[in-house]
Amino acid sequence: MEKERSLAGRFLQYGALTLIVHLAAACSDKAPPPPPPERTVEANPPARPDAPAADAKLVLAFGDSLYAGYNLDQGKGLAPILERALVRRGIKARVVNAGVSGDTSAAGRARLAFTLDGLPRKPDLMLLGLGGNDMLRGLEPKETRANMEAILTEAQKRGISVVMTGMIASPNMGPDYAAAFNPIYPELARRYGATLYPFMLDGVIGNRALLLPDGIHPNDAGVEKIVARLEPVVERALKP
């Protein structure tokens, strides 16, 4: 609990003003929420799942625009940068980009089985990063929880290890929303035996030098920063 409060405090300190503006617009009672802007561009579409080498680890990066490489040049998104980082650490790995910009947890749940069935084999690890767009739209946290539970249940049924990259509620969503949304990731990680990376944008959100002009999505340097912190977690998860 103390760790969750620390993360929430850090997010507040970042002062992610652009994110708050988007959230306020999405939650307005005066008009229906506009489609998330990340749906308009898919700079790094999901990669075709070519078969990895026989001795290489297969990692599925299953998430939203933070995984998809929104508005980045080809090869600059999370999946290719993480793959190169693992290789530099001596780990043969193929990281498949299954990020779809604008996906909610419900959309991810709907496409999960199709995505897994389209892989050349069962992945050694799945990175799971959904829920941010649920928050942007002000969706009920209980819906997000149910969808994430369904995704984790499917992964468990197939014997796939999971690393969850969490999200926390923006402060302007209010304490009641945060109290329902923020525990989703740590609680489900414990219940399903998943590894938790608590906050996907830790160290990036609020730092304009690491963000695209929208103030939400990481730029090239931001992705590198995320991967530098995430790679050791993935590396440990891939080891027997």
What does the block give as tokens for 137? 């739209």
| Catalytic residue check, 65 | yes
Query: What are the residues facing 62 on neighbouring strands?
Result: 98, 128
Q: How confident is the model at residue 20, as a pLDDT?
A: 39
CA 168 to chain centroid? 11
Average pLDDT over residues 4-12: 48
Distances from the Cα of 112 to the Cαs of 6, 16, 43, 140, in angstroms?
32, 31, 21, 21
Catalytic one among 28, 73, 176, 214? Answer: 214
Smallest CA-to-CA distance from 160 within 133, 128, 205 is with 128
Residue pair 79/97 in contact (Cβ under 8 Å)? The answer is yes
Q: Which residue has the higher pLDDT, 17 or 152?
A: 152
Distance between CA atoms of residues 167 and 20, nearest Å: 14
Query: H or E stretch including 79?
Result: helix 78-88
- From residue 130, alpha-carbon distances to 52, 89, 117, 156 in Å are 25, 27, 20, 17
Q: Rounded to an integer, what distance in angstroms lies between the CA atom of residue 145 and that of residue 108?
A: 13
Task: Provide the residue ranges of all domains of the chain, joining segments of one domain with +.
Answer: 2-238
Residue whose entry in the numeric block shows the structure tokens 């992705």: 223
Report DSSP state, residue 215: S
Which tokens in the block code for residue 188?
Answer: 């489900």
Q: Is 148 helix (H, G, I), strand (E, B) or coil?
A: helix
pLDDT digits (tens, 9 = 90+) for 215-236: 999 999 999 999 999 999 999 9
The angle, 0 to 180 degrees and rounded to 10, between the axes of the packed helices 184-192 and 141-157 is 20
Percent of the chain with pLDDT over 70: 78
Predicted pLDDT at 48: 57
Dihedral through CA 146, CA 108, CA 92, CA 83, nearest 10?
Answer: -120
CA–CA distances in Å: residue 68 to residues 75, 109, 153? 11, 16, 23
CB 133, CB 96: distance < 8 Å = no
State the DSSP code for 124: S
Tokens 């499917």 belong to 154
Residue 214 annotated to the active site:
yes
- Provide the CATH number for the domain formed by 2-238 in this structure: 3.40.50.1110
Catalytic residue among 22, 64, 65, 105: 65
On whether the pTM is more than 0.85, the answer is no
Per-residue pLDDT tens over the stretch 19-58: 433 433 333 333 333 334 344 344 455 655 666 677 899 9
- Higher per-residue pLDDT: 92 or 13: 92
